[in-house]
Structure 1
Amino acid sequence: MRILHTSDWHIGRTFHGYSTLEALRGVLAVLVEQVREHEVDAVIVAGDVFDSATPAAECYTLLSDTLRGLADTGARVVVTSGNHDSAARLGFQAGLLRDGIHVITDPLSVGTPLTLTDAHGPVHVYGIPYLEPARVRHLWSEVELRTQAQTLAHAMDLVRADQAVRGGRSVAVAHCFAAGIEATPGVEREIRQGNLDVVPLSAFDGPDYVALGHIHGRQRLSERVRYAGAPLHYSFGEKGRLRGSWLVELDAAGLADVTWLDLPVPRALRVLRAPLEELLTDERFSDAEADWVCAEYTDTLPQRDVMRRLQERFPHCATVSHVPERVGAPGTLSYVERVRAARSDRELLDAFLVHVREGEGATERERDLIADLIADDRPIQKVLAEARS
């Protein structure tokens, strides 16, 4: 049996304020063709189908189109809810979906598999929706469920108990933060104690394969426990990370092979760092003009209208930050120490400029202006107006 493991579609998520809906539509269309090309028997979507608990209408349209396309290949489709999804909204139409599409959002369904068959017999797929301890502990009041680790361990106990009775091969699907993974900075931002705390790898003992969701980069925790990651890049922290899914093959004995299928990247991510004038003119950045750009300009002083100027060259410049290269050398006096050491108004003003410019004091023209201001008893606004003219 061939199973495609994908997750974290996050339909409706933006990339630094830009819509990703059409880019995701194109990538998911490629995924559907891969399912057809590789004659996949079942597709598993391990949670976070939507990015929001209240997705917009066009998000439902994309999900419906994609599920229909997957079902048209002849594959069975198993979808579980993640922590971003509203289980109620994701599951409200489950009973109306066409045959072959299964949306699992009910916590009480844990331990009851969807059973598929091939030439070697049954394969039991145990879908575990995202289980928030505070919301589900009343369902199993005889068990202490205070953490994600306890809750998922209990869910897997139910899976193993059922599997012991049924026999045959099995696959588990869950959405969590498992021990040993490498998180993506700025992406899996909801990982914290009391929400998605760490689940030990031993919790997943038993099934022939465990398809996990939540982490946006592919991860292999063991030969049989993996994350597929998201099909799109949703943060510059994901730069350089492959997008795709796992193609899992089961034979008569269980797990036979796992291979990676790449998905296309609609627009590459680039982080450019240089003085602003170089970013605007230097030919070495020409190959980034069609990419998503995170620009870091290193000028000593902040510049004006930076985003507009950069977007004239890089239309998809999404973020800009000022990261001056000049920093205080070891042993440099602190601002308080500079102020205390100042012996005149001129030195005091220079200490302030060194502080706010991270090491750069007054220019020659500014020193002349400061001298004029200190020596002149006219209102400061008048002196500055004359200096500008």
Structure 2
Amino acid sequence: MRILHTSDWHLGRSFHREDLLGHQGAFVDHLLEVVAAEQVDVVVVSGDIFDRALPHVDAVALADEAFARLASSRARVVVSSGNHDSAQRLGFGSRLMDAAGVFVRTDPSSVGTPVVLEDRHGEVAFHAIPYLDPSALLEPWGLGHRSHQAALGEAMTRVRRDLAARPSRTRSVVLAHAFVAGATPSESERDISVGGVSRVATSTFDGIDYTALGHLHGPHELAPALRYSGSPLAYSFSEADQAKGCWLVELDATGFSSARWIDAPVPRRLSRIAGSLADLLDDRSLTDREHDWVQATLTDVPRPARAMEQLRRRFPHTLVLQFPTPVADPTTPARPTSGHSDHAISLDFVRHVRGVAATTAESDLLQEAIDGCCHDPDQDGVRAGTAEGGAA
């Protein structure tokens, strides 16, 4: 059996206000091409179909198109919900979709009841575990303590109970959306820690022929049969160096046989560049970055005026402009603010951030802003009263 493992589509997500729906649609096209070219039997999607619990109508339309096209392909589809999905909305109509070969599982009560598919070697039990909220399941499942380890541990107990009741030759695939120990997160995943406890031990999935993980956006191989596919697109500049794609997994008669990485298309690369503004504008080695989405870190002191405007003349898709965080000199005592004017404090802040003093024009502008912010309308009444009550 050939299984295509993907996850974390996050349909409807933007990238620094850039609309990604067209790029996500290109990934769906790619997915269908892989299904046909590689003769995929089952596509598994391990959570976070949508980026929001209440997704935009265009994101819903793309998901509907993706599932309809997959249902018309040679592959069957098994889907579990992630922490970004609304279990109720994603799971709507799931019983009807079963008939089309698209099996969507979002309800914790379904844990332990697999989707059973067959190949020439016999049955494969697909246990699609939706994202499990430990707080919501603490009492219903009698977890004992509130953690992801406790919730997934109980889920896997139910999975193993089902597998133990099946013929010994039944192979198993588990879909799970969690932060499993040994993997490295990116900046774009939503924190799912509960009381500081978010990680799940790899041993939780021992004995499963293949575990298709979702939640982290970078691909990881934690064990030959325990992997994250990651997201199909980069959703933060911390993912600039990550590969994006899917795992093509093969099961033979005895279980896991192999996994091969298949790259996804990259509609626009991400680049992180750093240096002075003049260097970045003149450096010929950056020519191939000119059409990338760019995060630029400028090292200029003082900070140059209209830096973003100048950068975008060469790098029109610059999305983030930042400056290194100044490092305080530990030998220099902090200047107390008590007894100093707001203007003096603001000038100290400018010097601390930029490393040089504000210009005369900047100092005047800061004073004007402070006067405007600190204007007390009650003082007008006092002055007006004085003027009305007698000669000033």
TM-score scaled by length of structure 1: 0.84
Give the letter aligned to residue 271 of structure 2. Answer: R
- 2:339 maps to which residue? none
Counting only pairs closer than 5 Å after superposition, residues 39-78 of structure 1 correspond to structure 2 as 39-78=39-78
Supply the distance in 1 between the matched residues of 2:74 and 2:348 (Cα, whole angstroms). 70
Note the alpha carbon deviations across 1:269-296, whole angstroms, 9 max, x for none.
Answer: 1111121233334433222111000011
Please state whether the residue corresponding to 2:25 is helix, strand or coil: helix
Give the letter aligned to residue 173 of structure 2. Answer: V
Deviation at residue 361 of structure 1 after TM alignment: 5.9
Do 1:328 and 1:358's aligned partners in 2 also have CA atoms closer than 8 Å?
Answer: no
- 2:19 maps to which residue? 19
- 1:340 maps to which residue? none
Please state whether the residue corresponding to 1:192 is helix, strand or coil: coil
Supply the distance in 1 between the matched residues of 2:200 and 2:100 (Cα, whole angstroms). 34
Deviation at residue 355 of structure 1 after TM alignment: 3.9
Give the letter aligned to residue 99 of structure 1. Answer: A
Do 1:353 and 1:362's aligned partners in 2 also have CA atoms closer than 8 Å?
Answer: no
Deviation at residue 48 of structure 1 after TM alignment: 0.5
- 1:384 maps to which residue? none
Do 2:303 and 2:354's aligned partners in 1 also have CA atoms closer than 8 Å?
Answer: no
Deviation at residue 356 of structure 1 after TM alignment: 2.8
Give the letter aligned to residue 336 of structure 1. Answer: R
Please state whether the residue corresponding to 2:100 is helix, strand or coil: coil
- 2:341 maps to which residue? none
Quick check: 1:183 aligned with 2:185? Answer: yes
- 2:352 maps to which residue? 356
Deviation at residue 169 of structure 1 after TM alignment: 0.6
Supply the distance in 2 between the matched residues of 1:353 and 1:226 (Cα, whole angstroms). 47
Supply the distance in 2 between the matched residues of 1:242 and 1:55 (Cα, whole angstroms). 26
Note closer, same or farther for the CA distance 1:134–1:262 as it changes in structure 2 (3 Å cut): same
Note the alpha carbon deviations across 1:48-91, whole angstroms, 9 max, x for none.
Answer: 00000000111111111111222222101001000000000101
Supply the distance in 1 between the matched residues of 2:226 and 2:243 (Cα, whole angstroms). 18
Give the letter aligned to residue 132 of structure 1. Answer: D
Supply the distance in 1 between the matched residues of 2:132 and 2:328 (Cα, whole angstroms). 49
Note closer, same or farther for the CA distance 1:160–1:327 as it changes in structure 2 (3 Å cut): closer
Give the letter aligned to residue 146 of structure 2. Answer: R
Identity among equivalent pairs (%): 43
Judge which range, 195-204 or 116-125, deviates more. 195-204
Do 2:11 and 2:50's aligned partners in 1 also have CA atoms closer than 8 Å?
Answer: yes
Deviation at residue 189 of structure 1 after TM alignment: 3.6
Quick check: 1:153 aligned with 2:130? Answer: no
Deviation at residue 358 of structure 1 after TM alignment: 5.0
- 1:307 maps to which residue? 308
- 2:128 maps to which residue? 127
Task: Show structure 2 runs of 5+ residues with no match.
Answer: 337-343, 369-392
TM-score scaled by length of structure 2: 0.84
Do 1:15 and 1:234's aligned partners in 2 also have CA atoms closer than 8 Å?
Answer: yes
Aligned positions, number: 357
- 2:239 maps to which residue? 238
- 2:227 maps to which residue? 226
Note the alpha carbon deviations across 1:327-346, whole angstroms, 9 max, x for none.
Answer: 67785x34539xxxxxxxxx
RMSD of aligned alpha carbons: 2.8
Quick check: 1:296 aligned with 2:292? Answer: no
Please state whether the residue corresponding to 1:166 is helix, strand or coil: coil
Note the alpha carbon deviations across 1:16-41, whole angstroms, 9 max, x for none.
Answer: 11111101111221111011111011
Counting only pairs closer than 5 Å after superposition, residues 163-182 of structure 1 correspond to structure 2 as 163-167=163-167, 168-182=170-184
Please state whether the residue corresponding to 1:139 is helix, strand or coil: coil
- 1:107 maps to which residue? 108
Note closer, same or farther for the CA distance 1:206–1:272 as it changes in structure 2 (3 Å cut): same
Note closer, same or farther for the CA distance 1:195–1:42 as it changes in structure 2 (3 Å cut): farther
Counting only pairs closer than 5 Å after superposition, residues 338-357 of structure 1 correspond to structure 2 as 352=348, 355-356=351-352
- 1:270 maps to which residue? 271
Give the letter aligned to residue 335 of structure 2. Answer: V
Do 1:91 and 1:103's aligned partners in 2 also have CA atoms closer than 8 Å?
Answer: yes
Deviation at residue 196 of structure 1 after TM alignment: 6.8
Supply the distance in 2 between the matched residues of 1:362 and 1:102 (Cα, whole angstroms). 63
Do 1:7 and 1:46's aligned partners in 2 also have CA atoms closer than 8 Å?
Answer: yes
Supply the distance in 2 between the matched residues of 1:10 and 1:160 (Cα, whole angstroms). 30
